[in-house]
Amino acid sequence: MRRLMYEARAQLASPVRNPRMATVIGRLLGLAFLLCFGTGLYSHFLQEPLSWMVFPTRPAGLYQLTQGTHIVAGIACFPLLLAKLYVVFPQLFVYPPVTSFAQFLERASIALFVGASLVEITIGLLNTYQWYPFPFPFRQVHFALSFVIIGSLLVHIGVKLPLISAHWRAERTAGPPEQLRAGPTQEGLPRTRGLTGRILSYIDATPTVPARTSRRGFLATVTLGVATVVGLTAGQTFTPLDALNAFGPRKKGVGQQGVPVNRSSAQAKVATAAMATDWVLTVASGDTERSFSRAELAALPQTDVDLPIACVEGWSQMASWRGVRLRDLIDEAGGSPDSDLRLISLEQRGGFRQTEMGREYVRDPLTLVALELNGETLDLEHGYPARMIAPGRPGVLQTKWLSRIEAIDA
């Protein structure tokens, strides 16, 4: 066993498998993880705010930027995580596997770190495809695993800190020691017989690529890998990359009235209620309650705004909206723009049938109860008869098929 472990490590020796490369790739991966974690928390708290939280409404494309970054950094984790695991692969064959309880805990935390990270980015990717072949709920698990990952990342950095700080900067003496390290290390090891021995000597006879070429090739591959997966998908949110969007789960301009759809009217089962001629939007504030038909809403002063729909799945689409300013509507109904609102959709079920909107969005002059999209009457798929559109909020909170708006008494 011991010999096998030594052999395995010797075979896996490669000029890119060293602590310096682990530090270089690890830094990038750590950065990507932190970006994902930060933007993920922001998105989480936008959807489930704590009572004291107030969010910025400018720039209007803030959520478009943060969630676009979340998805871009997440997809960049695929090449980065695989590269990091490639660099440290020989560590798998450390012999003896366990030397102390502390070291056992460390190895266990790394196994958890690796497994949880792989699952986290995989289910994140699958969620952007709206495909859920896994036996657990996405949102809750994706959220909980993020703490597990950041926790085990910190433990990992803590344990490896002396190594990381020793290799933070490139070694200035690039000469002899490196060549020694890259040279064959299997001399003096007992040879294995039989089939295993043959395979090992076949591998031994494999020509090596010069260390410098191999290192540069590895770094170039990782760089190109990140550039490729990001460049060919990020066009779903970053307009300059739209022409390169060959693999993004969404395409700009594809959808009714040029805007993609997250939840369709068929999924939400709202077609009948939304197309009913007696539809009204009820605005309730304290004891006063007022209902507006669509014609009455259209008769109020109309405002035009350009705001993006930015989905939690990472795509976004700029659009022109026309409708009634929310604060004017609240005013008209005798309410105060200084209270938070509860928005209720015609949907019968679904996690976002009923959501809350902080007063900072209610006051904002860009927030509309929209009746038109890109110059046409709002399509049923985009929330006809009326929907909410506010700056800097995730798409799931831009309530479609509005039915009722209530002031929440403080």
Partner 1 sequence: MGSEAEVALPSRRIRVARSVLVAVGVLGLGLGAYVLVDSVALRRLPGLALWIAGAIVLHDAVISPLVFGLGVLTRRAGHRVAGSVVVTVQATIVLGSLMTLIVLPAIAAQRQGPRNPTVLPLDYAANLGLFWLILAVACAAVSLWFYLRTRRANQRPSRIQS
* Rounded Cα–Cα distance for residues 186 and 164 (Å): 27
DSSP code for 389 = E
Among 47, 186, 192, 221, binds partner 1 (CB under 8 A): 221
d(CA 141, CA 317): 28
Is 271 a binding residue for partner 1 by CB under 8 A? The answer is no
Cα separation, 41 vs 33, in Å, equals 12
Binding to partner 1 by residue 95, rule CB under 8 A? no
CA–CA dist 322, 257 (Å, integer) = 14
CB atoms within 10 A of CB 110: 18
Which residue lies nearer to partner 1 by CB, 239 or 267? 267
Backbone Cα Rg of the chain: 28
HEC-encoded secondary structure of 100-165: CHHHHHHHHHHHHHHHHHHHHHHHHHHHHCCCCCCCCCHHHHHHHHHHHHHHHHHHHHHHHHHHHH
The piece of 52-60, 71-79, 344-352, 397-405 that touches partner 1 (CB under 8 A) is 71-79
Interaction between residue 229 and partner 1 (CB under 8 A)? yes
Q: How far is the CB of 264 from partner 1 (least distance, A)?
A: 4
Interface with partner 1 includes 91 (CB under 8 A)?
no
Per CB under 8 A, which of residues 183..212 are in contact with partner 1? 202-203, 206-210
In this structure, are residues 369 and 404 in contact, taking their beta carbons and an 8 Å threshold?
A: no
Residue pair 283/289 in contact by the 8 Å Cβ criterion? yes
Question: Which range of residues in 19-27, 73-81, 297-305, 360-368 is near partner 1 by CB under 8 A?
Answer: 73-81
Q: Among 38, 49, 61, 217, indicate the residue that binds partner 1 (CB under 8 A).
A: 217
User: Among residues 53 and 144, whose Cβ is nearest to partner 1?
Assistant: 144
Using CB under 8 A, pick the residue from 45, 95, 168, 247 that binds partner 1: 247
Of 219-227, 288-296, 342-350, 394-402, the segment contacting partner 1 by CB under 8 A is 219-227
Q: Is residue 173 part of the contact set for partner 1 (CB under 8 A)? A: no
CB closer to partner 1, 68 vs 74: 74
Q: How far is the CB of 111 from partner 1 (least distance, A)?
A: 6
- What the block records as the tokens of 35 is 């970006």
Least separation in angstroms between residue 294's CB and partner 1 is 24
Nearest to 303 by CA among 323, 319, 318, 320: 323
Q: How far is the CB of 196 from partner 1 (least distance, A)?
A: 14
Given a contact cutoff of 8 angstroms between Cβ atoms, the answer to whether 401 and 346 are in contact is: yes
Out of 112, 271, 273, 300, the only residue in the binding site for partner 1 (CB under 8 A) is: 112
- Specify the residue, 122 or 291, whose C-beta has the smaller distance to partner 1: 122
Write out the binding residues for partner 1, residues 285-344 only, by CB under 8 A. none
Q: In whole angstroms, what is the distance from residue 99 CA to residue 194 CA?
A: 31
Please answer whether residues 250 and 130 qualify as being in contact, where contact means their C-beta atoms are separated by less than 8 angstroms.
Answer: no
Residue selected from 23, 39, 146, 398 as contacting partner 1 according to rule CB under 8 A:
146
Stretch that binds partner 1, among 141-149, 272-280, 319-327, 388-396 (CB under 8 A): 141-149
Q: Would you put residue 75 in left (φ > 0), alpha (ψ -120 to 50) or beta?
A: alpha
Among 79, 335, 358, 391, the residue binding partner 1 under the rule CB under 8 A is 79
Restricting to residues 118-137, name those near partner 1 by CB under 8 A. 118-119, 122, 125-126, 129-131, 134-137
Residues in the interface with partner 1 (CB under 8 A) total 91
Judged by CB, which is closer to partner 1: 264, or 374? 264
Contact criterion met (CB below 8 Å) for 308 and 320: no
